Structure 1
């Protein structure tokens, strides 16, 4: 069967490829410690499941509002205002099938063929493909050594074709949380050059000892050209429920609503009521996860910084490990080879930095128990000794 050049040109998701390999090895009886998975190992709160069950019994099984149930959008607006000290309303919200679809919606809605999007390195694996599918081109820009934004490099990358700047804070894979100062500078660049600022904030609830800042918090001029992309997956441990949303100017929401109406319509009505329940219990859900993840971060950073150069994550749940010394010693040639070596010889799965634009790094997710993280360290230490 012939497929389009557009689909043929898509690179498979590297993280999904690694996950598939690990599943296959486990089916063969191998005990693999999966520090590759960007998914919290918490179950959804029982009340969320009960709310969905009650919604099903009440007949919430039919078509609904494309942009999301008013009750959910109102709850999201309240949550966002509380977290970010903003004054947005449900008219500023559109709900979609996870943040992946919201990212897809955004680029499809702002890009024409040949438009450019500036993407700081490292970046999430899905971003270049989403831009490509929208007819755009990713212009990759190196970040500073500590993975914070290099505003001067971004400024130099702006051309007549530039339509938007994409950022991810807290960052996957580096764990960096961008500061108010650097985001304000970035926002001023967007105003000066009439650009959109696409801010992927899926990990906004997972910040450690630092302040999360969204561009929507930085004044009306920056906010009206910004899109905040959020997810229930990480914040509320609802990865399989596929609930994501965007926060943006009402005029932009209306345009994206039209696009989503043809793409998929609404997400399941009953799932949305589960999301409403999650927001009602936000303090318990986020508090428990944040406390656990901070403990794991502290343990993982203390251990793995003995083997690799790495920054202490300010947010999300990843360590980005520099493998340059092992490449220079000839132990491996790149991140792909290092990840395969650790899977085969240590029984520990990580993700190659190649998929994040940095082939001399590997990503570790501290989404398993402290005991498993410590065991993974012992196994990797033996392989690299």
Structure 2
């Protein structure tokens, strides 16, 4: 019996093909692909036992043990989970680590017992991962990078997401890229960040854009880092500087880091009081972490304003009190750093302007 296979990884990315990952959950958590779901042929314990058997007795006995462990109702349930996913996603494909026994057996069972065909990835996870790593090479990029810069609170990420030819690195890393950048949900593993970034670059290149617009992130976003050659390629791009009055920046920061962030914490903990307290704890610790860089006097002033603002918010339900500490943090901490960077940069500044002017300019750079 001949089963279908493919190594057309580019098409998988461009067509957003759903993928069934039949590796064990412990493998999936370390790294997987976008549009993939973990429906393992063996769970972690079963895989562990088969691995021991393979080392002690060889492949034949290991395969035999695997069939014994995954049989009867266990086997039926796993086939049903694959069948259900394929029914909902008819273009689905399947993979294991190297495209060997696990995906081959799964593919055979799906056709034999579920009556459905599914394509297997040649070389499995490892081959697809290597393809994506190659696509992160700076030398294969064809678009000219443009770096969107500007003081904190100007709304760079909001503007970036209005452009078709941009890549939101902060979105991929699930981090705002600042002192208070962490979300309630964890950042992706480094492998998953790289896989997602590679897919974005492949799609961007397939559309033939001459420019790629990115924020000025340096080499990392939170705990995720951009491969050094690619980061250097991005950072070598010319600058476009987004400008906004300080009052507008305060309001944007208030909306994102206080109002929206508190709502995120409340939703995450499913409890308003607990969510607000966890938000306060995180923000408080974040301010304390930069105490040395702020200096004792500025730190004390900012932290005092922060505590008073939070207490007033709990009492009155009004967020406006947070504007005081936000203004100090922007003007006394972030602004001097960004001003120094812009004053000393050797990069070419292509354009400066407000939100509407910068958006119009960047949209002209396809």
TM-score of the aligned structures, taking structure 2 as reference length: 0.23
Structure number with the higher helix fraction is: 2
Between the two structures, name the one with larger relative contact order (CA 8 Å, sep ≥ 6). 1
Q: Which of the pair has more CA radius of gyration?
A: 2
